[in-house]
Amino acid sequence: MSDATTGKAKKTPPAPLPEFDEETYLRLNPDVLVAVAEGKFRSAREHYEHYGRAEGRLAVALRDLPRDRVIVTARPGGAAEAPHAPAGAVDTIKLSSAGGLFVAGWINDSLDRLDTVELYVAGWSIAFSASGLARVRRPDAETVVGLHLPCALGFWGFVYAGQRLPAGKCNAVIRLKSGVELITIVNIEFLDDLELRGTVLHHLAAAHYPGPASFNAASSISQTIGTQLVDFSQMLTRKVVSAPYVERFHQDGRAPKASVITCLYGKPDFLTLQQALFAGQAGAEDYEFIYVCNSQNLAEALLKEAAIARLVYGLDITLILLGANAGLAAANNLGAAHARAKRLIFMNPDVFPKDAAFASRHLALSEDLPAAQTDIFGAALYYDDGSLMHAGMYFETETMPGFTLGKKEDACLLCLEHYGKGAPPKDVALLRPRAVPAVSGAFISMNRAWFEELEGFSQDYIFGQYEDADLCLRSLEAGRPAWLLSLPLYHLEGAGSVRHKVHEGAAAVNRWLFTQNWLEPVSAALLGPNPAHPALAEAAP
Amino acid sequence: MKVLLIAMYHPELVRGGSQLVAYELFHGLREVPGIEPVLLCSADSNSPAMFKNGACITGFDQRENEFLFLSQDYDCVWQKLPLPGHAEAFAEFLRRIDPDVVHFQHFLAYGIDYLTLTRKVLPRARIVFTAHEFLTICAADGHMLRKTDGSLCEQASQVRCHQCLPALSPEMFFLRERWMKAHLGAVDIFTVPSRFMIDVYARWGLAAEKFLHVPNGLNMPPLPARSSGTGRRNRFGFFGQMVDVKGLPVLLEAVNMLRAEGFEDFTVEINGENINFASPERRREIEAFLAEEEARPVAERRVIFNGGYHHGQIGARMARVDWVVVPSTWWEIFCLVISEAWHFGRPVIASNKGGPAERITDGKDGLLFELGDARALAGTMRRAATETKLWDKLADGITPPTPREAMVQGYLAAYEEAAAKQKLAAE
């Protein structure tokens, strides 16, 4: 409806229709009925003469109104209501010392789509584009709005400014495509960088999604958030690994043939358990053990455990303590930098030898087999229940139709699968030594020189996941596929660390990142358990 | 030969079977020419006055060759002590004492890894390990008593153990078994006080040929008159700890049943302590029964609570009863109370599993009833109290319990066997 007070759309009125009927016009045009009642027009006729005729409004009652179909009584758009600001709010803005910025809120933009979320603070401002924001469900907002179907009313975003920004009060503007604005004043909360990363990852994992959660969590950050989070996390990792505390518990004069690097998180007992179960192996003294701890609160307990282990088991231990969680990749790279041997073993804390000959057999394989098979190799891993859990890894894709989030494109993510997960323990085909697309990072044995040539694990992945497959793919690209060798170990998956919501959030980021990095080459020749890549002709069991 | 005995608690600080046996062995070995025993007993928060600032090991009460290991912060999940200072002190103690034999009568409050530590510090020493229960196998206090339904456990497994203790995952029990076995690998000879234990450990995967059966033996006080009874054998006695697995509620329920049947010509005397270690439910049950009994007119009271007793009082307490009831609801590994009862010529009425079932021959030297079955116990008690000449027949069938000297000889044989095993392994 045009506003009579704006002075716009003034035209010379044509002669009124002789049969114009006030009552019929008001019935056909309820907005005019309201406007007349509010005193904006003296009569229906006045509205018709000034605006209604030009807008093509029907003034005469239809005789014999057709049944069961809509009759348009005005030209499309001609009688549009003035846009109203829908319900919504910016709830939270959090800022960290290094310039990480997190914003979250909700908006009912089902009719008028979200365009930007703009933040104006004394000294800086930012406009988050709608495409760069993640959209999630907000059941509380759905209740407020009165929606009965799940709908992604929520939004959140993250950017890393890379510099310290002042906090304070923020003028937060939600702008819709129609130009309507919704303005709220929000107090910015100031957080430590690590705390903000945790908050964001927790938010990512804990959010409600209108479809499969793990998939949509990963795809929701694909536009901007993922890249920004990776940059932010890299900065934190660099900070954390720059100041490690290193203590060596060594016997004099030993020259280890292999360095076992284990990243500990959350559970100090696993240092002791590994030492106890490896120490009984013939040839265990040829190994040194490097434990990198990503949990600051475990420092005291680990120093004690390592001191006791030196007394009781007598193996060489190096303890590297970090002030925060630098992630598995950075911890492994740091451990490798402190290693003394030419062979590196990256091993989870919940991995244990399955038979008494592991230590000697591993060295024999490393030394006797051709370099092409030992530059990077994994092992057959078993569950505690006796079944196989890993005989190499391969890649699959998961695709989700785009309509779940109102996007046109279908979303596609890479996923890792294990050969032989849950299989009987002695499946000869699965256990056959062969080149495979990738091996689990729960146990990777590498020629140190090759590890260094590949520049170690990628530290882009947050906390840990996918860096093992990433390393194997880079090795494959460089001409040396990972091998699976006959070396049985137990892997009590997940028992050796603690997992919180933030780790689920990191997993979503890592999955998105791994897909970004590898979807194209994997799709070309590495998909499925029987990939087409010429170096992997024997990969399938 | 120098023998270092490692014991859980000193029996004069915390009473209990294994520490009593260790102390008896210590004194028994002292009497053997050519043997020099040294005793190291753990002490923990039960005995705060024993702790000395900064010390991990101290002497005890000015007694020669008796020492205390001052333990704290013990990790009951993995059975280890997370204190490097204590491990250093223990290693240094081993070096100072330099024993030929290190005999672990227990590892609790030290840590199962002290077996491996001992082997590392003293590679040539013989290591002997006595199992007084199944703590290495069973994380539920070593009782092998299923928490799911109270039944006896015949076989531990990671899933079954997880069902008993759901807070720990099957993976943790998988690891626990390997952790325990890794350290038990340092042992040359295992000894057990009852033969049935060997089967349990063998089923768990330890080599049966490394086990020896050495029954517990006590140096008992002098014998009083065989009985001060009146000829009627209707006085029953309970002796021991009032903890859940000792099954006192089964006996009290049997008393209720006998009363309900109208049979009241009997008495039960309870000689026990440590009810504070019972579960809250069992404790409430026992205390409610005793309070109700106390409230009855004197002539109607059938159950008398005498409280705890020390070794010197045992003769007087035994003299007040005709029968000793052992209603344990677990395997009851050996049951020193049976030895005490036999020493004083009292036949025993006991649950029909574990140590009692191995030691008592039903109808010859005692009576057995179905474990945990109060009705069966009530029937057995009524029979015992009413059947003419039964008591005399069973009392005559009793074989005197193993004396301390025999136990000492048994352990000396174990030390020799350990040497033989070492020699064999070296060859």
Q: For residue range A280-332, what is the model confidence (pLDDT) as tens digits?
A: 899 999 999 999 999 889 999 999 999 999 999 999 999 999 999 999 999 99
Please, are residues B201 and B212 in contact by the beta-carbon 8 Å criterion?
Answer: no
Asked whether the beta carbons of residue B91 and residue A307 sit closer than 8 angstroms, the reply is no
User: What average pLDDT does range A516-521 have in this prediction?
Assistant: 96
Instruction: Tally Cβ neighbours within 10 Å of residue B313.
Output: 13
Q: Which helix (H) or strand (E) holds B191?
A: strand B189-192
Q: How far is CA B223 from CA A8, B25, B68, B344, B346, in A?
A: 122, 21, 33, 6, 12
Show me where the domains of chain A are located. 1-82, 88-238, 245-534
Q: What is the pLDDT of residue A77?
A: 56
CATH class for domain A88-238? mainly beta
| Higher local confidence (pLDDT), A392 or B309 | A392
**Per mean pLDDT, which range of A76-85, A408-417, B143-152 is the poorest?**
A76-85
CA nearest to B218, candidates B396, B403, B80: B403
The two beta strands, A482-491 and A434-436, are antiparallel
- Partners of residue A385 in chain B, C-beta under 8 Å: 158, 170
Instruction: Tally Cβ neighbours within 10 Å of residue A241.
Output: 21
Beta bridge partners of A121: A124, A170
Q: How confident is the model at residue A18 (pLDDT cuts 50, 70, 90)?
A: low
User: What average pLDDT does range B210-216 have in this prediction?
Assistant: 98
Please, are residues A181 and A174 in contact by the beta-carbon 8 Å criterion?
Answer: yes
B interface test, pick of A272, A303, A308 with most B CB neighbours within 10 Å: A308
Q: Tell me the fold of A245-534.
A: Spore Coat Polysaccharide Biosynthesis Protein SpsA; Chain A (3.90.550)
Q: Is the pLDDT of residue A41 over 90?
A: no
Q: How far is CA A443 from CA A261, A391, A408, A414, B397, in A?
A: 10, 11, 41, 22, 64
Please, are residues A62 and A71 in contact by the beta-carbon 8 Å criterion?
Answer: yes
Residue A352 contacts B, CB cutoff 8 Å: yes
Q: Is the pLDDT of residue A404 over 70?
A: no
The 8 Å CB, 24+ separation contacts for B134-141 are B134/B197, B134/B200, B134/B201, B134/B331, B135/B79, B135/B107, B135/B108, B136/B79, B136/B112, B136/B180, B136/B184, B137/B177, B137/B180, B137/B200, B137/B201, B137/B204, B139/B77, B139/B164, B139/B165, B139/B168, B139/B173, B139/B176, B140/B164, B140/B165
For chain B, the 3-state helix, strand and coil shares in percent, each to the nearest 5, are 40, 20, 40
For B15-30, the pLDDT digits (tens) are: 888 999 999 999 999 9
What whole-number percentage of chain B has pLDDT above 70? 98
- A120 CA to centre of own chain: 28
**First CA to last CA distance, chain A:** 71
Beta bridge partners of B305: B270
- Chain B residues whose C-beta sits inside 8 Å of any chain A C-beta: 75, 78, 80, 82-84, 87-88, 91, 113, 116-117, 120, 158, 169-172, 174-175, 178-179, 182-183, 185
Asked whether the beta carbons of residue A307 and residue B179 sit closer than 8 angstroms, the reply is no
What whole-number percentage of chain A has pLDDT above 70? 91
Q: What is the pLDDT of residue B311?
A: 79
Report the complex ipTM.
Answer: 0.87
> DSSP assignment, residue A375?
S
Q: How confident is the model at residue A151 (pLDDT cuts 50, 70, 90)?
A: confident
- Partners of residue A308 in chain B, C-beta under 8 Å: 82-84, 87, 113
Q: Is the pLDDT of residue B190 over 70?
A: yes
Q: Is the pLDDT of residue A75 over 70?
A: no
Q: What is the pLDDT of residue A420?
A: 93
Residue A280 contacts B, CB cutoff 8 Å: yes
Torsion sign (Cα): B28, B29, B33, B38: negative
**Per mean pLDDT, which range of A288-297, A407-416, B120-129, B267-276 is the poorest?**
A407-416
Please, are residues B128 and B184 in contact by the beta-carbon 8 Å criterion?
Answer: no
Of B75, B80, B182, the CB nearest to A280: B182
Question: What whole-number distance in Å separates Cα of residue A536 and Cα of residue A125?
Answer: 52
Among the CATH numbers 3.40.50.2000, 3.40.50.720, 3.40.350.10, 3.40.190.10, which is that of B235-397? 3.40.50.2000
* Domains B2-219+404-426 and B235-397 fall in the same CATH topology: yes
Backbone phi and psi for residue B344, each to the nearest 5 degrees, phi listed first: -95, 15
For A173-228, the pLDDT digits (tens) are: 999 998 889 999 999 999 999 999 999 999 999 998 877 777 888 878 888 899 99
Of A276, A279, A492, the CB nearest to B174: A492
State which amino acid sits at residue B410. Answer: G
**Per mean pLDDT, which range of A38-42, A86-90, A374-378 is the poorest?**
A38-42
Please classify residue A340 by burial: count the beta carbons closer than 10 Å to its beta carbon, then call 0-12 exposed, 13-18 middle and 19+ buried: middle
Of B116, B117, B169, the CB nearest to A495: B169
Backbone phi and psi for residue A76, each to the nearest 5 degrees, phi listed first: -55, 130
Torsion sign (Cα): B367, B373, B379, B382: positive
Q: How far is CA A487 from CA A354, A387, A490, B97, in A?
A: 9, 15, 10, 43
For A418-476, the pLDDT digits (tens) are: 999 999 999 999 999 999 999 999 999 999 999 999 999 999 999 989 999 999 999 99
For A105-131, the pLDDT digits (tens) are: 999 998 889 999 999 998 899 999 999
Residue A304 contacts B, CB cutoff 8 Å: yes
Residues 6+ apart with CB under 8 A from A464: A263, A327, A328, A329, A441, A506
Give pTM, 2 decimals: 0.86
Question: What whole-number distance in Å separates Cα of residue B237 and Cα of residue B263?
Answer: 18
Residue of A nearest to B181 (CA): A277
According to CATH, the superfamily of the domain at B2-219+404-426 is: Glycogen Phosphorylase B; (3.40.50.2000)
Question: What whole-number distance in Å separates Cα of residue B106 and Cα of residue B104?
Answer: 5
Asked whether the beta carbons of residue B82 and residue A307 sit closer than 8 angstroms, the reply is no
- Partners of residue B91 in chain A, C-beta under 8 Å: 311
Residues composing chain A: 541
For B321-340, the pLDDT digits (tens) are: 999 999 999 999 999 999 99
Q: How far is CA A129 from CA A90, A173, A175, A224, in A?
A: 14, 12, 10, 9
Asked whether the beta carbons of residue B84 and residue A304 sit closer than 8 angstroms, the reply is yes
Asked whether the beta carbons of residue B91 and residue A311 sit closer than 8 angstroms, the reply is yes
Number of helices (H) and strands (E) in chain A: give both, helices first: 16, 22
Full DSSP string of B194-243: STHHHHHHHHHT--GGGEEE----B-PPPP--S----S---EEEEEEE-S
Please, are residues B57 and B67 in contact by the beta-carbon 8 Å criterion?
Answer: yes
Question: What whole-number distance in Å separates Cα of residue B154 and Cα of residue A215?
Answer: 46
Residue of A nearest to B178 (CA): A277
Instruction: Calculate how close chain B gets to A272, using CA atoms only, in Å.
Output: 9
What whole-number percentage of chain A has pLDDT above 90? 67
3-state secondary structure of A461: coil
User: What average pLDDT does range B286-314 have in this prediction?
Assistant: 93
Q: How confident is the model at residue A251 (pLDDT cuts 50, 70, 90)?
A: confident
Q: How confident is the model at residue A399 (pLDDT cuts 50, 70, 90)?
A: confident
Show me where the domains of chain B are located. 2-219+404-426, 235-397
User: What average pLDDT does range A388-400 have in this prediction?
Assistant: 94
Asked whether the beta carbons of residue B84 and residue A313 sit closer than 8 angstroms, the reply is no
Q: How far is CA B24 from CA A287, A433, B18, in A?
A: 45, 59, 10
Residue A278 contacts B, CB cutoff 8 Å: no
